[in-house]
Structure 1
Amino acid sequence: MVTSLQNTTSHKTTFTIGTRKSQLALVQTYIVRDKLQAIYPHYEFNIETMSTTGDKILNQALSKIGEKALFTKELEIALENGTVDFVVHSLKDLPTVLPPGMVLGAITERENPNDALVLNKKCEGLTLATLPEGSVIGTSSLRRVAQLKRRYPHLSFKDVRGNLNTRLAKLDDENGPYSGIILAVAGLVRIGQENRISHILTSSDSLHAVSQGALGIECRENDPQVKELLEALNHNDTRLCCLCERSLMRTLEGGCTVPIGVNTKLDQEKNTLWLHGLVASLDGKTVIEYQDQVSLTPAEEEEEAEQAPASATDATTGAVAAENTTHDTNLSIRRLRDRREKIAEQLGRHVANTLIQNGADKILEELAHH
C-alpha cells in the first residue's frame, strides 16, 4: 500500500497540513507530520496555522458561544478551498457530522482519554474529596461540571478558558480563585506537563469526552492520494472505539453544550466492544446512564464466508501474482475493518437510543431551551 503510493510519479509530492496555532495543536500536528515524514521520506510536509472561532472568543464559556464547529470551521474552509491538503484535529473537537465532501481520513492511536486534576501548590496532597468546602475548581466543560457536582457537591466550579499553559498560569496565580483545574491527561502529556497531574480521575468520577485523547485527520473525500497517504496513520482499535463514541453523540445530537460522557473498552480476547454512555443535567442532579457490549465476531465470519479458496490452476506466477495477492489482502483488511466499524457504530446508536428511552430526551430538551 505504501510502496505503490511512493512509486507513483504523477501525483504531488508536497502537502500542506492545517492546524490551530495553540501549542498543543502544533505539538499534535508535529506528531502527525513526523510520522508521515518517516513513512514517506521523499515527500515534503508543510504546516499552515490559523486561529478558529474558539481560539478568538475567550471571554465566554464554550457552551454560550452557540457554534458547534468552534475549533474546526476555519480549518475546514481552508481544506475546502485547497489551501491545505488535510487537517489535524483533537478528535473530541471535531463535530460528528462533517461538511459535505469531507471525510475522517485517519484516527491515530489514543493517548490516555481520562480527565486529570491539577492542584494549586497550596492544595498539594489533597483530592477532590478532601478539598475544603467551597473550593473553586476550574473547567470549561459542562460534562465535567455536571458529573463532578454530583460526586462532590461541596465544591464550586468556575469557567476557565485559554490554551493549556494559560489555564495552568491562572491556576498558579497566587491571587487567583482556583484550588484546582480539570484538564485532559492527553493534552498535559503531549505538551510535557504530565508532572503537573495531581490525580487521574477514574470513570466513577467522570466519564471522559467522546474521542478524547485521539487525533482525527480530516481530508477531502475526492482526494484519493491523500486518503491513501493517511491510511498509514490509522490505529484500528482506537478508530473502532472512537467511531462507536461518535455514533452515540451523533444520535444524541450532542456537542459541547451537552454533558455527555463515555467510556469504551475493546476486549481483544473475547472480541467484544463495550460502551458506557451518560447524559447529565447541568446541575448534575439528573443522570441517565446505560452500558452494553457487542461481539465483533460476525464481521470476521462474514469476511471468511466471502473468501473462496483460490484454485491452484487459476493462480498466476511471479510478480503479478504477488501484486494481486497484496491487493486482495489490503482489500480484505479494509473490508473487515469497515464491517467491524459498522458494528461499533450500531452499538453507539443502540446505547444512545436506550439513553433517550430512559429519559435522556427530557434532559436534552431542557438543555436546548437553556
Structure 2
Amino acid sequence: MTATDLQTTTAAAAGSSAPLRLGTRASVLARTQSQAVADALTAATGVPVELVLISTEGDRSSASIAQLGATGVFVAAIRRALLDGEVDLAVHSYKDLPTAPEPGISLAAVPAREDPRDALVARDGLTLGELPPGSRIGTGAPRRVAQLRALGLGLEIVPIRGNVDTRLGRVAGSAGGPGDLDAVVLARAGLSRIDRAHLITETLDPIQVLPAPAQGALAVECRSSDARTRELLGRLEDTAVRACVVAERATLATLEAGCSAPVAAYAEIAEGETGPELFLRASVTALDGSDAVRGSLTRPLADAAALGRALAADLLDRGAASLMAVGR
C-alpha cells in the first residue's frame, strides 16, 4: 500500500461509520486488555472498534525472555501491521515496548493503570515468607529472578514461559492439578484483568520485589499521520499515569537496558510542599542475587523524563552496569 493509498483509506474511514481496527496479540490477557480499551474508546467517542489478532515473534517462540534477548519481540509485528495500514491502532502492555521511539508511530494514549505490583500464587495459600527453603518458584523475568534470589530465602527459581493460565496450572493445587511448582510470580495487573486475582496468595511489597518499568500500564499507538485517530485516542489519556511511566522508562533507557535486564523502576505521585510530585524508586540487581544498587529521587510531574535519567545516572555511578552483566 502506497502512502497515497493509506491517506485515502484513512480519509474514507473518517467520513464513514466503519469501525476502527485494533491490532492485538491473541492471548487471553492481550485480548482482554485490548477489548477494555476498545470499549472505553467506543464509550468516549461513539466510534465502533473491532479487534484484529496478530501473531508476534514472542508468541511463536518457546525461548525464555532472556534467550529472546531483543526488545520488541511482542510488538514488532503489530507495529508493522499498523504502518502498513492493516490496523488503525494497537494496544500493548507498555513494558513490552522498546524504549526508542518508532518512526511513523505515535503513543497516542496511556490509559488508567492497573496495580503495578507483582503477585505470588502459591500452593496451600502460602506467602513468600512461608514457603520452605527449596520450594520451586516459577518466573520468566530476569528482574524477578534476581530480586527473589537477593531475598536469600533458599528458593529454587525455575524459568517458565506461557500464558497466564499455563503458568498458574503449574502450581500445585491452583488449577485443580498436581502441578510441578510450589508457586509462581506474575504481574498482579494481568491476573486482575482476566479475573484471576482470587488466586493471589500475596501481593508483593515493592520493598521486597520492585516492579518492572511501566508494569500494569497500557500503551495505545496509532500512525503519526492519522490525526483523527490520535484525537480520538487522546480522550483515553491519563496524564498522571503517563508521567509515572515516562519516569520509569527514562530510567530503563538511560541504563540502556531492556526486558531481559534485571532492572526495576516504580514511580508514584506524592503530595509535595508545592503540589503533586513524582517519587521514583529504581534498582539494578545482579542476576545471581549477590548484589544490588537501589535509589530514589523526587521531582515535579513535568520533569518526569529528567527524573528517570537522573536516577539512572546515580545507579550507573554506583556500579549498575557491572551488575547487569553478572550471571549473563
TM score, norm. by length of structure 1: 0.80
Partner of 2:5: none
Q: Deviations over 1:260-300 (max 9, x none)?
A: 1112111246321111110111011110111110134xxxx
Tell me whether 17-26 or 259-268 shows the greater mean CA deviation: 259-268
Percent identical residues:
36
Does the 8 A contact of 2:161 with 2:167 survive in 1?
yes
> 2:29 and 2:59 mapped to 1: Cα distance?
12
Matches within 5 A, 1:66-77: 66-77=69-80
Are 2:140 and 1:180 aligned?
no
CA distance in 2, matches of 1:152, 1:44: 51
What are the equivalent positions in structure 2 for 1:202-213 lying under 5 Å apart? 202-213=205-216
How big is the shift at 1:109? 0.6
Structure-2 separation of matches of 1:282 and 1:244 = 24
What are the superposed Cα offsets for residues 302-357 of structure 1, whole Å, 9 maximum, x if unpaired? xxxxxxxxxxxxxxxxxxxxxxxxxxxxxxxxxxxxxx2xx100000000111101
Q: Deviations over 1:24-72 (max 9, x none)?
A: 101101111111111222x2311100111111112x2111113211110
The equivalent of 1:147 in structure 2 is 147
2:276 to 265, 271, 275: 271
- Paired amino acid for 1:97: A
- Aligned partners of 1:45 and 1:364: how far apart in 2? 42
1:363 alignment partner in structure 2? 323
- State which of 275, 282, 288 in structure 1 corresponds to 2:287: 282
CA contact (8 A) 1:11 1:225 kept: no
Matching residue's letter, 1:346: A
Distance 1:12 1:293, change over 3 A: farther
In 2, the alpha carbon distance for the partners of 1:127 and 1:31 equals 31
Compared with structure 1, are the counterparts of its residues 9 and 166 closer, same or farther at alpha carbon in structure 2 (3 Å cutoff)? closer
Instruction: Say if 1:129 and 1:152, in contact at 8 Å, map to a contact too.
Output: no
Q: Distance in 2 between matches of 1:96 and 1:234?
A: 19
Distance 1:163 1:140 in 2: 11
TM-score where L is the length of structure 2: 0.90
The answer as to whether partners of 1:280 and 1:286 remain within 8 angstroms in 2 is yes
2:57 matched to 1:53? Answer: yes
Letter in 1 for 2:252: M
Matches within 5 A, 1:1-370: 11=15, 13-14=17-18, 15-41=20-46, 43-58=47-62, 60-120=63-123, 123-124=124-125, 126-172=126-172, 174-268=177-271, 270-296=275-301, 340=302, 343-366=303-326, 370=328
Task: Give the secondary structure class of the aligned counterpart of 2:229.
Answer: helix
CA–CA separation in structure 1 for the residues paired with 2:122 and 2:324: 32
- 1:222 partner SS: coil
Q: Distance in 2 between matches of 1:9 and 1:51?
A: 25
Shift of 1:166: 1.1
Question: CA offsets, 1:135-178, max 9 Å, x none?
Answer: 00000011111111111331110011111111111224755320
SS in 1 for 2:24: strand
AA of the residue aligned to 1:286: D
Task: Say which structure is richer in helix.
Answer: 1
Look at both structures and tell me which one has the larger radius of gyration over its CA atoms.
1
Which ranges of 4 or more aligned residues in structure 1 deviate by more than 3 Å?
Answer: 8-13, 172-176, 364-367
The question of whether the paired residues in 1 share the 8 Å contact of 2:56 and 2:76 is answered with: yes
Equivalent residue letter for 2:141: S
* Post-superposition CA distance 1:194-247 (Å, at most 9, x none): 100000000111000111111110111111111111100101111110111111
